Amino acid sequence: MIAEGRQRAYRALIRVERDGAYLNVALQEALAGSGLDERDRALATEIAYGALRRQMTIDWLLSPLLRRPMAKLDPEVRVILRMSAYQMTWLSRVPPYAVAHDAVELAKSHRPQAAPFVNAVMRRYAERAPEWADILRRSLARARDVERWSVEYSVPAWIIERLVHDHGPDRVIAALAAMNEPAPMALRVNRLRGSRDAVAARLASEGVAATPAALARDGLRIAGQVDVTRLPSYREGWVTLQDEGAMLVAPLLRAEPGMRVADLCAAPGGKTTHVAELMGDRGEIDAYDVTMAKVGAIRRQAERLGLAIVRPKLGDGRQVKPSAPYDAVLVDAPCTGLGVMRRRPDLRYRRRPDDVRALAELQYELLRHACEIVRPGGCIVYSTCTLLKEENESVVQRVASDPSTGVRVEDVAEDFRAWPELSGDCRPGLLLWPDAYATDGFFMARLRRA
């Protein structure tokens, strides 16, 4: 019998490989109603995320054992080989014979004619698995740096080239290494329900150990992987699942009770609801997004958290025409997502170089429009979860250097003064590196209208 965790990981990965599904959605579907215990859920999650994070490295290690290029194999066979190679190389607690056995059984179920081939490849791979790092080092000794890093960190070369151009190799390599590790879980406390200590105590009574987060005032860290959505404290709106880096964005807006606020890119509502909590649920927040389904997601989050001031709206953030100017506007812009590779390991393979310019243009238009709908003296926060200057500093500078926008960039170093390592990196906004505090990578800047 195939271990249940591996079956579910296969189901998610084949949806990504064959149908272009997003991993987070595919895995959620594969695990839904499965009745798996926490251990099997954790195994399925680790295999599915790990195999995608290391995909380019795995393909490179497997290639000498194949007579045809990986791309020419059936998708079912590709997925089985990759997930099995991942376990043999990176999950040392799983015995290789158990992995090989399940690989063959999976092949028998999904591509029976390929079972002998899968068996032969995985048995040969098992011999190489413990030495993968040496094999890689020896074989790539003469390769260009970018080519070597691309195989080692499993990131397309064009992305590494762009990042190294912007930030230099040392900074980027540290970030790439961190983003190939599993992402820690963090929860945001809904202060309207209770203090951080009170919420941690409630979580403890539900069997979940939570400790205060390093950076975010409202954050809690959780050890291991927990299906939080099953907890009463989640269902009753005491906590929200959110990366700790993302929790730093809403406080930058300095929204106060009674203010009129707009969030121009709001779905699924993580930051909108945080702003509403910080405003004590007093005032109004217009929360825009571009598809009806996504607007529904904002509504569900606000309802779960018991927030009355959030008004989810369908609309293009570049064209919003409010009846009166806003006191504050948040632009949490769509981006290449290169700072969240840990949580979205499939993104790096989907992105194309042209995406960067197209997104930078959209980001510019959104931020420019935000300047038009904020009142004089009002503030705008611009944030992304990418590490590329073209989508971050350049967008902010392009808007701020145009006198017709009437905005200037504010120094946010003061907002981060408790963490000297961060406040040195705050011009014209904070770039939060994923390796610094084990958060996702984020950029955030504040502008103010004269």
Ligand X SMILES: C[S@@+](CC[C@H](N)C(=O)[O-])C[C@H]1O[C@@H](n2cnc3c(N)ncnc32)[C@H](O)[C@@H]1O
Identify the residue among 243, 286, 332, 391 touching ligand X (CB under 6 A): 332
Q: Is 266 in the site for ligand X (CB under 6 A)?
A: yes
Q: Is 393 in the site for ligand X (CB under 6 A)?
A: no
Report the C-alpha gap between 410 and 119 in whole angstroms. Answer: 60
Report the C-alpha gap between 216 and 415 in whole angstroms. Answer: 12
Q: How far is the CB of 155 from ligand X (least distance, A)?
A: 20
Q: Cα 26 to chain center, whole Å?
A: 15
Active site residue 426: no
Q: Which residue has the tokens 């195989």?
A: 151
Tell whether 223 is in a known binding site: no
Q: Is 449 in the site for ligand X (CB under 6 A)?
A: no
Nearer to ligand X, 88 or 267 (CB): 267
Tell whether 332 is in a known binding site: yes
Report the C-alpha gap between 81 and 104 in whole angstroms. Answer: 10
**Helix, strand or coil for residue 385?**
coil
Q: Is 244 in the site for ligand X (CB under 6 A)?
A: no
Burial pattern 308-346, b for ≥16 Cβ within 10 A else e, equals ebbebeebebbebeeeeebbbbbbbbbbbbbbbbbbbbb
Instruction: Report whether 203 contacts 220 (CB < 8 A).
Output: yes
**Angle, nearest 10°, between helix axes 96-110 and 4-19?**
50
Identify the residue among 50, 283, 317, 428 touching ligand X (CB under 6 A): 317
Q: Is 427 in the site for ligand X (CB under 6 A)?
A: no
Identify the residue among 30, 99, 264, 331 touching ligand X (CB under 6 A): 264
**Helix, strand or coil for residue 237?**
coil
Q: How far is the CB of 262 from ligand X (least distance, A)?
A: 11
Q: How far is the CB of 271 from ligand X (least distance, A)?
A: 4
Diameter of the chain measured on Cα atoms: 71
Report the C-alpha gap between 41 and 36 in whole angstroms. Answer: 6
- Write the single-letter amino acid at 442: F
Identify the residue among 237, 245, 270, 441 touching ligand X (CB under 6 A): 270
Backbone angles phi, psi at 372, to 5 degrees: -80, -25
- Write the single-letter amino acid at 158: W
Instruction: Report whether 437 contacts 244 (CB < 8 A).
Output: yes
Q: Is 339 in the site for ligand X (CB under 6 A)?
A: no
Q: Is 391 in the site for ligand X (CB under 6 A)?
A: no
Identify the residue among 86, 125, 238, 288 touching ligand X (CB under 6 A): 288
Q: How far is the CB of 331 from ligand X (least distance, A)?
A: 9
Choices 85-93, 111-119, 259-267, 403-411 (CB under 6 A): range interacting with ligand X? 259-267
Q: How far is the CB of 82 from ligand X (least distance, A)?
A: 28
Applying the rule CB under 6 A, the residues between 144 and 183 that interact with ligand X are none
Q: What is the gyration radius of the CA atoms in the chain, in angstroms? A: 23
Q: Is 245 in the site for ligand X (CB under 6 A)?
A: no
- Write the single-letter amino acid at 173: I
Nearer to ligand X, 129 or 444 (CB): 444
Q: How far is the CB of 381 from ligand X (least distance, A)?
A: 11
Choices 61-69, 157-165, 312-320, 410-418 (CB under 6 A): range interacting with ligand X? 312-320
Identify the residue among 316, 361, 402, 411 touching ligand X (CB under 6 A): 316
* Cβ-based neighbours of 108, under 8 Å, separated by 6 or more: 115
Which residues contribute to the annotated binding site for S-adenosyl-L-methionine? 265-271, 289, 316, 332
Q: Which residues bind ligand X (CB under 6 A)?
A: 264-271, 288-290, 294, 316-318, 332, 334
Annotated binding site: 265-271, 289, 316, 332
Q: Catalytic residue positions?
A: 385
